Structure 1
């Protein structure tokens, strides 16, 4: 049966590519209100495609923002149910002058298709549809039960999806969630992401006098908010990069031996990274590699700070305010709300005299982890190895996708991040593109995955 879907995909390559172009022509930019009609058009396009290939109960479901597209096929008796998530909205295209070809006029060059959304995430969403179509056309049925949820607000933070998940919890219940919205290690080197870091952010506003003051008249006699802010920020770390917030590491688990074996399979050259970044040396928590620090360990980083006169030359004032923006990347077992409270307590305990401090919370998202030895993860690895002919790497990402944690918490199911993009494909930037090699191999991999998963879960 495997040869059958492979042959089908091969003989329909040109047709599939032309259909992908049709999808990419829809300017479904969720961040811009003038494209709201285009976002709806993309949702309706997906509805029609899902219906055409043979899915059932296909519908465009309203939210307070852009709609969610749902469809299912639930006739694989005694087989697992897979929930497939993706998004059909795209980023704005600015700056337009840097695009070599119009962003919504797809063009194939050098084995790549160029268009906004080509890799993030329309191309990968479309691969799932075509893989299911190939199975329907060659076997008349699917090896697993399938539910599909495609949203139109991922690029603006999925503001309405958590509520949708809660209100449709029973409809969306499944045995595993599969998302193709991540990237591979490199060309020809597939990877399965089994964990993402969480996030908590805050702003610190330090206020002194009721206005800026002349530094000659008041310097040395009034607390300088800029000095006070620097003192607070310096209290967060020791000289080697360890975080000094009391309780910050209390729930952080050490890297397991099994994970260390997985880490060893991930190519990492710290010296090459140092040279590419142009820094004298890499820096961070002692005892961990660059990859471990940026994927497996929590962080606390200053993202921005400002105070006082910013113009050319000098203005001799004591600024009356100083501000810093902070984000922490969190690992499994760290709760974003709890970490925020630990930061608040730390700041209050280290607040210098003579100023008031206001703390404002920003985005929060929980970390997520599906053990990489989970059958759904290992099944995905076997599918990749069949098609790419090389050993797959199991990775944890240093980034955060808060909606993944929402899925995990609401539905309580394992999550498999099986992406086919490459980090070099300019998603969110001009000249976004998708390598057609991964477009074709990705569809084949997904077909293998559904057959393997049917016997693994």
Structure 2
């Protein structure tokens, strides 16, 4: 047992510079684990039972691949390395599934299932979300093991295969395996940095609920020349209903959806945030969203309503007919303080007050709850100090990210503080064609996580 922090970080640098990171990531990207596809199950099983279990078994982890309690969804891998029952335990999470490949939409020369390197960009589906990120964290653990001979703490790794489908079964699985997964802290990676040149730590996420608004007035379409002005148009009615949910600049008008938890302390923390989304990121619209808030307060401290799709008639082949129905696929991202159980009922009450009783609300019931970690939490301060020591600069420390993750499973079901250290950046084309990871951020992430895991082991001794 021995070695140094600097030695462990040097091992991480060599792992990247010598091509081993790309070799590991390349094998993982090549497994088409698109959980939204009906035929993905063999690939999902292969990813956890062969690829990841082999890697973790080689690091002294006891691996179990366990079924999803929800039928027709992919399995879970639980890997445990228990060095001493008296040591703290760190839970590390990742998801091996990805969104659909959309191979036909990738730029010429690129493929979702093959690593392609162009300059600083490593292209491939899952490079950013999430195969690249958990590959970094597992490699950092391996570097600490190689240098010290032990981690200095107990380590549990959970890899699911359904996050891109809404993590079905994750809460039930974690509740049933609470003892096996219990830990002092979750340390994991997903999502983007706020500033690609500065590390980010976030302790929670906004929640998310998707739902459809639907209006069906009749069985079929009717000629607009014969019936125009006589038959109600469901597209127009639904458009007016949607217009009551926000004003023209997107400010939410449903009273129960307006948060009351943006405290002075939260505003002070967000005032120090640095943002650089990177090349290719869109310009922020200064006149969109809650008028009295800064852009950082809008995305990290407030709720946002989005219309993701709106259809009426046949958009691909319009005809001169009044359509029989209209549908809008909508989403609410929400922060701590918004009652998730009242989101749909509040909208129902609002639409009824506005005279739109005929609009139906449909949801599949899947919801990711909002979570938040106090920046003064000891684990948040410890992780921030460790990362600052390695990076030479203070990280952005967020109580919660603007996006959503199944973080409530770890905070509420298992019960632990959560620390997320993202290794991607906002312009990575996550969920889109040409997804990529920046090589510079991957190398930096390896250094940061190796230093963090080293420091946890040193603190525990």
When normalised by structure 2's length, the TM-score is 0.86
Superposed CA deviations along residues 338-361 of structure 1, whole A, max 9, x for unmatched, are: 111111122223235xx8332212
Give the CA deviation at 1:332.
Answer: 0.2
Correspondence list, 1:74-89, <5 A: 74-76=82-84, 78-89=86-97
Structure 1 gaps, min length 5: none
- 1:222 and 1:73 map into 2 onto residues whose CA distance is 67
**Does the 8 Å CA contact 1:337/1:364 hold for their aligned counterparts?**
no
Residue 418 of structure 1: aligned partner: 421
Give the CA deviation at 1:206.
Answer: 2.4
**Does the 8 Å CA contact 1:79/1:143 hold for their aligned counterparts?**
yes
Correspondence list, 1:266-285, <5 A: 266-267=273-274, 276=283, 282-285=287-290
**Does the 8 Å CA contact 1:228/1:351 hold for their aligned counterparts?**
no
Which has the higher mean CA deviation after the structures are superposed, 218-227 or 200-209? Answer: 218-227
Superposed CA deviations along residues 115-166 of structure 1, whole A, max 9, x for unmatched, are: 3322222222122222222222222211222111111222222223222112
Correspondence list, 1:385-404, <5 A: 385-395=388-398, 396-401=400-405, 403-404=406-407
- 1:282 and 1:106 map into 2 onto residues whose CA distance is 39
Give the CA deviation at 1:51.
Answer: 1.1
Superposed CA deviations along residues 162-205 of structure 1, whole A, max 9, x for unmatched, are: 22112212211111112211222233311112232112232222
Q: Does 1:335 align with 2:339?
A: yes
Superposed CA deviations along residues 399-429 of structure 1, whole A, max 9, x for unmatched, are: 222x222332211211111111122333333
Residue 228 of structure 1: aligned partner: 237
Match of 1:174 among 155, 158, 183: 183
Bigger Cα Rg: 1
Give the CA deviation at 1:11.
Answer: 4.2
Match of 2:122 among 113, 116, 131: 113
Q: Does 1:198 align with 2:198?
A: no
Structure 2 gaps, min length 5: none
**Does the 8 Å CA contact 1:31/1:91 hold for their aligned counterparts?**
yes
- Classify the secondary structure of the residue corresponding to 1:381: helix
Match of 1:189 among 198, 203, 209: 198
- 1:46 and 1:275 map into 2 onto residues whose CA distance is 36
Q: Does 1:380 align with 2:380?
A: no
Residue 67 of structure 2: aligned partner: 62
**Does the 8 Å CA contact 1:376/1:456 hold for their aligned counterparts?**
no
Give the CA deviation at 1:287.
Answer: 0.9
Q: Does 1:237 align with 2:249?
A: no
Q: How many residues align?
A: 447
**Does the 8 Å CA contact 1:375/1:456 hold for their aligned counterparts?**
no
- Classify the secondary structure of the residue corresponding to 1:283: coil
Match of 2:107 among 98, 103, 125: 98
Which has the higher mean CA deviation after the structures are superposed, 130-139 or 19-28? Answer: 19-28
Residue 292 of structure 1: aligned partner: 297
- 2:367 and 2:267 map into 1 onto residues whose CA distance is 28
Residue 445 of structure 2: aligned partner: 442
Distance 1:369 1:134, change over 3 A: same
Distance 1:108 1:76, change over 3 A: farther
Superposed CA deviations along residues 235-294 of structure 1, whole A, max 9, x for unmatched, are: 223466543324333xx3342333223222223599x999836x6x52222210122112
Superposed CA deviations along residues 73-113 of structure 1, whole A, max 9, x for unmatched, are: 22245432111000122333323452524443434442443
Which has the higher mean CA deviation after the structures are superposed, 428-437 or 132-141? Answer: 428-437
Superposed CA deviations along residues 307-343 of structure 1, whole A, max 9, x for unmatched, are: 357577872x554433333322111021222111111
Distance 1:341 1:388, change over 3 A: same
Correspondence list, 1:361-376, <5 A: 361-362=363-364, 363-376=366-379
**Does the 8 Å CA contact 1:54/1:133 hold for their aligned counterparts?**
no
**Does the 8 Å CA contact 1:262/1:393 hold for their aligned counterparts?**
no
**Does the 8 Å CA contact 1:206/1:321 hold for their aligned counterparts?**
yes
Give the alignment's Cα RMSD to 1 decimal: 3.2
- Classify the secondary structure of the residue corresponding to 1:303: strand
Residue 168 of structure 2: aligned partner: 159
Distance 1:172 1:306, change over 3 A: same
Distance 1:220 1:85, change over 3 A: same
Residue 7 of structure 2: aligned partner: 4
- 1:293 and 1:111 map into 2 onto residues whose CA distance is 31
Distance 1:214 1:12, change over 3 A: closer
Superposed CA deviations along residues 42-96 of structure 1, whole A, max 9, x for unmatched, are: 21221111111122x2122222432211111222454321110001223333234
- 2:219 and 2:117 map into 1 onto residues whose CA distance is 60
